[in-house]
Structure 1
Amino acid sequence: MTHSATPPERPFRQKLRILLLWALATAFIILNLVSRPVRPGYSLIESILEQTGTFIIIVGVIGRIWSILYVGGRKNSELVTQGPYSITRNPLYFFSLLAIFGVGLVFGSILVAASFTILAYFIFLYTANREAAYLSHVFGKDFDDYARCTPLFWPDFSGFQWGPERNFSPRALRVTVRDALFIVALVPVSEFFEYLHSQGYLLAAVTLP
């Protein structure tokens, strides 16, 4: 694998990633204000999208919690390669992406789900590559060997290993639960705006497929 010619001396700062995700969340709320799905909320397709989206959100939240139970507060200080980290080097980002896709489906638009998921993917991909460069600098051959057999983002379940039990960090768990609740909170927000649209309190400028 190749990294930048000048390896980073410090872990990648997450501020830019967090700001960009906040911007996506803000854009999603604005989208709910000015648009609504082309299908009515009582249609069969709408119901299927909502139920599927809810299931995917649950999988994403559980996956994030599973990941943090393995990495705890040891991110960037210990090379964790077991559990979810044996199928992808960035399970937290992968499961977050699932949850974001689920929120888009709950909104009722495949276009919205795909668009926000793609945008979030590029944010996570940029961050993951920056973090990989730092971890390669810190752990050297151990990380490079791990990276050769474990994908950066999309999971490969063929190499799954449970690994030994680990002591998790309560603080790290609180943070990931907080982040997960933030994503989940977008669902009732979307439902509330849909109700306002259906009652005529809000007029949609556009309808989305």
Structure 2
Amino acid sequence: MTHFATPPERPFRQKVRILLLWALATAFMILNLVSRPIRPGYSLLESILEQTGTLLVIAGVIGRIWSILYVGGRKNSELVTQGPYSITRNPLYFFSLLAIFGVGLVFGSILIAAFFTILAYFVFLYTANREAAYLSHVFGREFDDYARGTPLFWPDFSGFQRGPERNFSPNALRVTMRDALFIVALVPISEFFEYLHTQGYVLAAVTLP
């Protein structure tokens, strides 16, 4: 866990993270418009990438909904350690990375999928460390014990705990669904740009592996 010289007394402003992700999404759409992936001589690889990408997007969206059902309305006010939060301290960010990588695969380029996923990872890593510092400040030893046994990012399913039934925040679920639909919307947008390139309406400046 990253420690800061002066522990933050207020939660990290999520608007910064959201603005950075919007910037990444805008860059992805611009890249879609000016480039296209190198297509193999047969469509099998393209089909595998698209199907795998679609499955990852679905898994990412379902994972985000699963996570928000546990933490929605309680983030920063209660230390949630059950469900998805028993296998990783940041399941929302982890499942978002799955979806982002999936969108890149649907585009048809492993390179682009990896590039945008790595950029998003560093955004989430910075945010997660700032949030961890705040939670450590608020919950003290309870959070530190939880952090020692639960990975910051990559899930450890051996520690899974279902936990009791929980109520959820409809507003938090609404926000999560909005964000998820935005990620999903990148898939048809990518397909639409591919159609424009295929029909010759827009000429790609570069091709990407």
TM range (shorter): over 0.9
Residues 2 and 129 of structure 2 are in contact (CA less than 8 Å); yes or no, is this contact kept in structure 1?
Answer: no
TM-score (ref. length: structure 1): 0.98
Residues 67 and 91 of structure 2 are in contact (CA less than 8 Å); yes or no, is this contact kept in structure 1?
Answer: yes
The aligned amino acid for 1:178 is R
> How do 1:93-172 and structure 2 match up within 5 A?
93-172=93-172
SS at match of 2:120: helix
Residues 104 and 113 of structure 2 are in contact (CA less than 8 Å); yes or no, is this contact kept in structure 1?
Answer: yes
Deviation at 1:128, TM superposition (A): 0.0
> How do 1:1-209 and structure 2 match up within 5 A?
1=1, 3-39=3-39, 43-209=43-209
User: What is the root-mean-square deviation of aligned Cα atoms in Å?
Assistant: 1.1
The aligned amino acid for 2:180 is A
Map Cα deviations across residues 66-102 of structure 1 (whole Å, 9 max, x no partner): 0000001100000000000000000000000000000
Runs of 4+ residues over 3 Å off in structure 1: none
Residues 41 and 47 of structure 1 are in contact (CA less than 8 Å); yes or no, is this contact kept in structure 2?
Answer: no
Task: Measure, in 2, the Cα distance between the counterparts of 1:163 and 1:8.
Answer: 29
The aligned amino acid for 1:18 is I
Map Cα deviations across residues 99-120 of structure 1 (whole Å, 9 max, x no partner): 0000000000000000000000
Distance 1:73 1:33, change over 3 A: same
**Contiguous gaps of at least 5 residues in structure 2:** none
SS at match of 1:67: helix
Map Cα deviations across residues 107-160 of structure 1 (whole Å, 9 max, x no partner): 000000000000000000000000000000000000000000000011000100
**Contiguous gaps of at least 5 residues in structure 1:** none
Task: Measure, in 2, the Cα distance between the counterparts of 1:15 and 1:88.
Answer: 23
Distance 1:141 1:25, change over 3 A: same
Aligned residue pairs, count: 209
Task: Measure, in 1, the Cα distance between the counterparts of 2:40 and 2:18.
Answer: 33
Identity of matched residues, %: 90
The aligned amino acid for 1:177 is M
Deviation at 1:15, TM superposition (A): 1.4
Deviation at 1:2, TM superposition (A): 5.3
Deviation at 1:51, TM superposition (A): 0.2
The aligned amino acid for 2:49 is L
